Amino acid sequence: MFGNFSLPELLVVGALALIVIGPKDLPRMMRQVGRFVGQARGLARQFQDSMNDAAREADLEEFREARKLLKGKSGVTDVLNETVGLDEKPDRPPKPKSPVLSAEEMRERAEESGFGPAALAERKAAEEAAQVAASDPPPPPPPADGQPPRTADAKSG
C-alpha cells in the first residue's frame, strides 16, 4: 500500500512531519496530500486509458487497411490468384441446371452407360442363351441296331 516503505520508516516520517508542521496543521496537510495523491492517480488512470484507446484505434486502423487490401483489386488476393492461376478461366463443362434428373434424362443416361431397359433385356437374353448352351446336351437318339447306348464306364472297360 505504501510502496517500499516499512513501518519504522513511516513512523520516522510521521514524527518529522509532526515536529516540522505542528500538531495543529498536520490534519489539514494530510487531507491536501490525500487529494493530491488522488488527483495524481486519476491523471495516471486517464493517461493509461487514452493510451489503451490509441492502441485499440491503431489496431483497428491496421485491421481496416488489411481488409481493404483483401477486398481491393491491388491486394493480397490478386497476388494469390496470379500465383495459383485462378484468374484464368479453365475449360470446364457447364454445370447441370438442376442436380435432380428428370425421368427421361435418367433413362438416357442409363442407356448410354449400358444399364437401361433395352441393355438389360439384351444382357438377360445372352445369359439365358449361355445357360442353355452350358446345360447338359440332350441324350443322343438310340442306335438303329437295337443295342443300348454305351456310357463312359462301358468305354473304359
| Digit-coded pLDDT (tens) for 1-39 | 566 878 899 899 889 988 998 889 888 988 998 999 999
CA distance 13 to 9: 6
Could you tell me if 129 and 63 lie in one domain? no
Decide if 124 is inside a domain: yes
CA atoms within a 13 Å half-sphere pointing along the CA-CB vector of 55: 6
Q: Which of 42, 44, 23, 46 lies closest to 34 in space, CA to CA? A: 42
CA atoms within a 13 Å half-sphere pointing along the CA-CB vector of 105: 7
CA distance 78 to 71: 10
The reported pLDDT for the residue numbered 31 is 93
Decide if 146 is inside a domain: no
The reported pLDDT for the residue numbered 94 is 64
Q: Which residues of the chain fall short of a pLDDT of 70? A: 1-3, 70-99, 136-157
Q: Say if CB 28 and CB 40 are below 8 A apart.
A: no
Could you tell me if 50 and 108 lie in one domain? no
Place of cell 437401361: 116
Could you tell me if 12 and 79 lie in one domain? yes
CA distance 156 to 139: 19
Could you tell me if 74 and 109 lie in one domain? no
Q: Say if CB 107 and CB 113 are below 8 A apart.
A: no
The reported pLDDT for the residue numbered 87 is 47
Could you tell me if 70 and 18 lie in one domain? yes
Cβ-based neighbour number of residue 8 at 10 Å: 8
Q: Could you tell me the three cell numbers for 62? A: 491496421
